[in-house]
């Protein structure tokens, strides 16, 4: 049961992460479009047009150009609204944190995860033993007996009709060599 629970939490968590990724992509596209508009936007012609409508003997003040600046800034309202909507969607972060906690707690109870941990521990122990054995074999020329056993195995499969006599003799030879190595 815990395994199904883990799968349910994993799917919900993955769906939330995908929606967060969609929000992030939408926001980056919105920002990219706004930046392209900023690069292409030039307010100078609008200011010159507004300034030409006033009398030459009037002193120009910034208040004269309020309408122009409001109209030009209105171009960016949709981008500001898009960012505000994206900010509202950031509530998804709390949902992601919650689902992540549920997923992690369900994994602690999952027998498949416990079995995997046991198998990984066994593999780690086997690897440590392998390193120890191979280190012992390489010390003092002891690797030769491994070669001898390998050769015996190869000969056995090639000459299985002569096996009983040959194997007995090969074992005696190997035992003699090994006892000589030990001394």
Residue pLDDT, tens place only, 97-154? 888 888 888 878 778 778 888 888 888 888 888 777 767 666 655 556 666 666 666 5
Number of structural domains in the chain = 1
Q: Does 36 fall in a domain?
A: yes
Q: Quick one: average pLDDT of 25-45? A: 86
Distance CA(165)–CA(172), nearest Å, equals: 11
Kindly give the interhelix angle for 163-182 and 144-158, rounded to the nearest 10 degrees: 180
> What b-and-e string marks burial along 97-120, b requiring 16 or more CB atoms within 10 Å of the CB?
eebeebbeebbeebeeeeeeeeee
Instruction: Find the helix or strand (DSSP H, E) in which 31 lies.
Output: helix 2-40
- Tokens 């910034």 correspond to what residue? 62
Q: What integer pLDDT is reported at residue 166 of this predicted model?
A: 52
pLDDT tens by residue, 43-83: 888 877 777 777 666 777 777 778 888 888 888 888 888 88
* Number of helices and strands in the chain (H, E): 8, 0
Q: Does 44 fall in a domain?
A: yes
Q: Quick one: average pLDDT of 22-42? A: 87
Q: Does 116 fall in a domain?
A: no
Q: Does 164 fall in a domain?
A: no
- Tokens standing for residue 114: 């416990």
pLDDT at 164 over 80: no
Question: Taking a C-beta distance cutoff of 8 angstroms, is the pair 110, 9 a contact?
Answer: no
pLDDT tens by residue, 109-119: 778 778 888 88
Distant-in-sequence, close-in-space partners of 180: CB < 8 Å, separation ≥ 6 = none
Q: What integer pLDDT is reported at residue 156 of this predicted model?
A: 54
- Tokens 């003799």 correspond to what residue? 169
Distance CA(96)–CA(16), nearest Å, equals: 6
Q: Does 58 fall in a domain?
A: yes
pTM of the model: 0.50
Q: Does 149 fall in a domain?
A: no
pLDDT at 1 over 50: no
- Give the domain extent around 36: 1-109
Q: Which long-range contacts (CB under 8 A, 24 or more apart) does 114-122 make?
A: none
Q: Does 118 fall in a domain?
A: no
Q: Does 2 fall in a domain?
A: yes
Q: Cα 176 from chain centroid?
A: 56
Other C-beta atoms lying within 10 Å of the C-beta of residue 175: 10
Could you tell me the pLDDT band of residue 18, with boundaries at 50, 70 and 90? very high
């Amino acid at each position: 049961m815990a395994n199904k629970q883990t799968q349910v939490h994993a799917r919900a968590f993955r769906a939330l992460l995908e929606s967060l990724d969609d929000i992030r992509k939408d926001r980056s596209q919105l920002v990219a479009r706004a930046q392209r508009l900023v690069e292409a936007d030039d307010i100078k012609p609008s200011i010159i047009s507004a300034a030409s409508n006033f009398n030459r003997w009037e002193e120009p003040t910034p208040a004269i150009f309020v309408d122009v600046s409001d109209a030009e800034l209105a171009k960016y309202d949709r981008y500001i609204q898009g960012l505000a909507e994206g900010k509202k969607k950031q509530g998804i972060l709390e949902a992601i944190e919650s689902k992540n906690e549920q997923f992690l707690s369900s994994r602690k109870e999952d027998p498949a995860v416990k079995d995997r941990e046991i198998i990984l521990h066994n593999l780690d122990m086997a690897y440590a033993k392998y390193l120890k054995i191979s280190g012992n074999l390489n010390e003092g020329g002891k690797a030769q007996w491994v070669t001898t056993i390998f050769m015996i195995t190869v000969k056995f499969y090639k000459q299985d009709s002569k096996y009983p006599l040959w194997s007995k003799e090969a074992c005696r030879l190997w035992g003699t060599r090994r006892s000589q190595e030990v001394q």
